[in-house]
Structure 1
Amino acid sequence: MTKFRPCIDLHQGKVKQIVGGTLRDDGPGPRENFVASAGAGEFAAKFRADALTGGHIIKLGPGNDEAAREALAAWPGGMQIGGGIHADNAREWLDAGASHVIVTSWLFEGSKFSEERLRRLVDTVGAERLVIDLSCRRTASGWTVAMDRWQTLTDLDVTPEVLSRLAPFCDEFLIHAADVEGLCRGIDGELVRILGDWGGCPITYAGGAATMADVEQVDTLSGGKVDLTVGSALDLFGGSGIRYDELVDWNRRG
């Protein structure tokens, strides 16, 4: 059964919900759906109290380390951490309380995938503590992994063959559908179906969930093999489409 996995997205030290396609290094600031007054630790403590496991903290750019450490301290071993992770600092974040480290951009040199870097990371932390982030955008070839906060397309596509190739090096995959992230207009059902048909190891999908019907759709399309993160639509983050308590109850029913 599909499980809800919580998320804490950090931008400039605050818990936020951002439209994924607007997060850029140049030009105006990102479009923000929500900025929390509560600290990251308060959200992590709530997820811990409700026994929501396998969630993730994503640092979107600089200035987020203190907030990330606050969240990890509120739930040691309870959440994963991503954003600026590489072989030289990954162990530091595990020691700070992360259950896993999540890595995307560092696995690429320029925009080309580096198996040497992946092997170095596995040697450092072990495949059992690594989540490979294959967040992607729709392209002419299907779905192409995007790095640097989804700004730069790489040479790696999200396909069953690529998932099978990378699965021995990690414990899970995290996949944001960046084109629908933060828009609350529905999930990328085609991508979810492909991920579920593969089903070789745990996968968390993020992007576009707007109602409980979307949660149910992920469960149906993936055969219950793909978990789901809900962000901007969640009342916990200022949304109106999905109630947090509904998702807690959903997980308990499973």
Structure 2
Amino acid sequence: MRFRPCIDIHQGKVKQIVGETLQADASKVVENFVSERGADYYASMYREDGLTGGHIIMLGGGNREAAMSALRAYPGGMQIGGGITADNAAEYLNAGASHVIVTSYVFRDGRLQMDNLRKIVSEVGRDKLVLDLSCKERDGKWYVVTNQWTTFSDLEVNEANVRELESYCDEFLIHAVDVEGKREGVQEKLANRLAEWATIPSTYAGGARSLEDLARFREITGGKLDITIGSALDIFGGTLPYREVVDYCDSSRSR
């Protein structure tokens, strides 16, 4: 199990927000934390700590400059997502991103757009693509949600679909939308299922708030999934020491 760091950028600033509140009306966005430091500061810290495979997420427009500063600070060390398409993906890879992350480009109008998925794979290669399966529970099943996590797609996140999508990407990033940004603990059933289904590197995001949560996550996933933590970390205004998380995950990998 690896700790995958994150940099979420909203309106040009590094923030931690409750994802479900991200709407066109910015006044309704619930912000857990707004940093006084730039995205490049966090990228440099992750580089110095030898953390790889983290992600930069651009939440809406007006974030390109901040994102580019982070890529310059840690070339080859982070993935980037948010508004990525086949037309602009190469720009971010050339700027230093290790991978591009896509959601809305391939999940549009409530459906998986296979033409767009094949197009971006053709443009950047499967080995540079991460699929973000942001999912929300409905009737005991999980479905990919889009349009700032407000619209259910018809794609169920299950073993068959996970295995099919694996042939098009290098990794998965899975946001547990129901708990993301709320610091309410990991969505255990989802994490357990993902560990059973996924055979490529996959990162879970949502709800982790303590070292006990990390230990529980490692137990229910068998260490097969990586994890990212945002709002709960002290570097983002929370109470969970970033340094302890880095040390814990490093020690768990050596067991």
Normalising by structure 1, report the TM-score. Answer: 0.97
Cα displacement (A) at 1:29 = 2.5
CA contact (8 A) 1:20 1:180 kept: no
User: Which residue is equivalent to 2:81?
Assistant: 82
Count, aligned residues: 252
* Aligned-partner residue type, residue 248 of structure 1: V
User: Which residue is equivalent to 2:20?
Assistant: 21
Q: Counterparts of 2:122 and 2:8 in 1: how far apart (Å)?
A: 28
Cα RMSD between the aligned structures? Answer: 1.1
Residues 18-54 of structure 1 show CA distances to partners (whole Å, capped at 9, x for unaligned) of 0111111247331000000000000000000000110
Residues 125-144 of structure 1 mapped to structure 2, 5 A cutoff: 125-140=124-139, 142-144=141-143
CA contact (8 A) 1:141 1:157 kept: no
User: Which residue is equivalent to 1:123?
Assistant: 122
CA contact (8 A) 1:17 1:34 kept: yes
SS of match in other structure, 2:195: helix
**Which 5+ residue runs of structure 1 have no aligned equivalent?**
none
Q: Counterparts of 2:108 and 2:37 in 1: how far apart (Å)?
A: 37
Residues 125-184 of structure 1 show CA distances to partners (whole Å, capped at 9, x for unaligned) of 000000000011111251110112212211111111111000011000000011111110
Normalising by structure 2, report the TM-score. Answer: 0.96
Of the structure 1 ranges 212-221 and 32-41, higher mean CA displacement relative to structure 2 is found in 212-221
Percent of aligned positions that are identical: 52
Does structure 1 residue 148 correspond to structure 2 residue 147?
yes
SS of match in other structure, 1:169: coil
* Aligned-partner residue type, residue 91 of structure 2: E
Cα displacement (A) at 1:217 = 1.4
CA contact (8 A) 2:177 2:206 kept: yes
**Which 5+ residue runs of structure 2 have no aligned equivalent?**
none
* Aligned-partner residue type, residue 224 of structure 1: G
Q: Counterparts of 2:249 and 2:51 in 1: how far apart (Å)?
A: 8
User: Which residue is equivalent to 2:248?
Assistant: 250
Of the structure 1 ranges 151-160 and 19-28, higher mean CA displacement relative to structure 2 is found in 19-28
Kindly tell me: are residues 92 and 145 of structure 1, through their superposed partners in 2, closer, same or farther at Cα, counting changes over 3 Å?
A: same
CA contact (8 A) 2:163 2:198 kept: no
Q: Which consecutive segments of 4 or more residues in structure 1 shift more than 3 A?
A: none
Q: Counterparts of 1:30 and 1:189 in 2: how far apart (Å)?
A: 26
